Amino acid sequence: MRIIMDIALDPALSISGFAVGLLVGLTGVGGGSLMTPLLVLLFGFKPATAVGTDLLYAAITKSGGSWVHHRHDNIDWAITRRLALGSVPAAGLTLLLLARLGAQNHGASSLISIVLGIALLLTAASLTFRQRLLELARRRPASADFRKHTAALTILVGAVLGALVTISSVGAGALGATALSFLYPNLATRRIVGADIAHAVPLTLIAGLGHWWLGTVDVVLLVSLLIGSLPGIALGANFAAKVPERALRGLLASVLLLIGGKLILA
């Protein structure tokens, strides 16, 4: 096991962490979907290092959010367990695939960049069309067959998220919440968000520890990001009710479209 520590504490990384944390606090999304491409495209980190470090970063930051949601009884633990039944095994298999490819090799780096680009495009689409999908789900006739298969579909969604998050560190937030909104249209939004965040903690922790084992976690980078992002998240959460969230989500979706396209075409 090897820990990558190529840099000293970099104020620019902490400032970037603060900016991303602020956006996460304001909108609830944008962590991995902005942090990972930022580390790759702006700071020049290898894709595997950016993903591995961001996964542990997400596990730490989402733990606090999960605890808050738990205290307010916002978590549907049955849904969280179903997601984990799919995501945890999928994360383990994906880590084995990355180990076989060689996490820092050119082939693995190309795979991570392409999957990251696709994940960003899907995230942008979910931010843009989530409300329409929710309205469509609520108008859908209450089919007994669909309800019967909802648990299996939730496990399948978890498996897809497990593979996607382990490769790209993106998808546990906006994509997970959108999928749950479609599967459980009558569930309160706060319960969907709570279940999604609670599920992201074990997923990102297991995937992050797996990347640590692969040698793709930079501890100094992790500390630099946390120094900036934790105050940013707290500040953003305090002002969340005072900013036009819909406009911010639209801007974020546009940025993710551009970044995702660049990563796929690079």
pLDDT tens figures, 165-208 = 999 988 877 788 888 888 888 888 788 888 888 898 999 999 99
For 151-165, write each residue's pLDDT tens digit: 999 999 999 999 999
217, 223, 228, 229: CA torsion to nearest 10: 50
pLDDT for residue 86 is more than 60: yes
For 109-147, write each residue's pLDDT tens digit: 888 888 888 888 888 888 787 777 777 767 766 655 556
pLDDT for residue 47 is more than 50: yes
pLDDT for residue 244 is more than 80: no
Mean pLDDT (the chain, rounded): 83
According to the model, what pLDDT value does residue 85 have?
96
For 68-83, write each residue's pLDDT tens digit: 778 888 889 999 999 9
Q: Which residue has the higher pLDDT, 28 or 258?
A: 258
For 53-71, write each residue's pLDDT tens digit: 999 988 888 887 788 778 8
Q: How far apart are CA 115 and CA 113, in angstroms?
A: 6
What would the mean pLDDT of 28-41 be, rounded to a whole number? 79
Residue ranges covered by each domain of the chain? 11-265
According to the model, what pLDDT value does residue 96 have?
93
Q: How far apart are CA 120 and CA 263, in angstroms?
A: 9
What would the mean pLDDT of 221-247 be, rounded to a whole number? 79
According to the model, what pLDDT value does residue 1 have?
46
Q: How far apart are CA 85 and CA 147, in angstroms?
A: 18
pLDDT for residue 243 is more than 60: yes
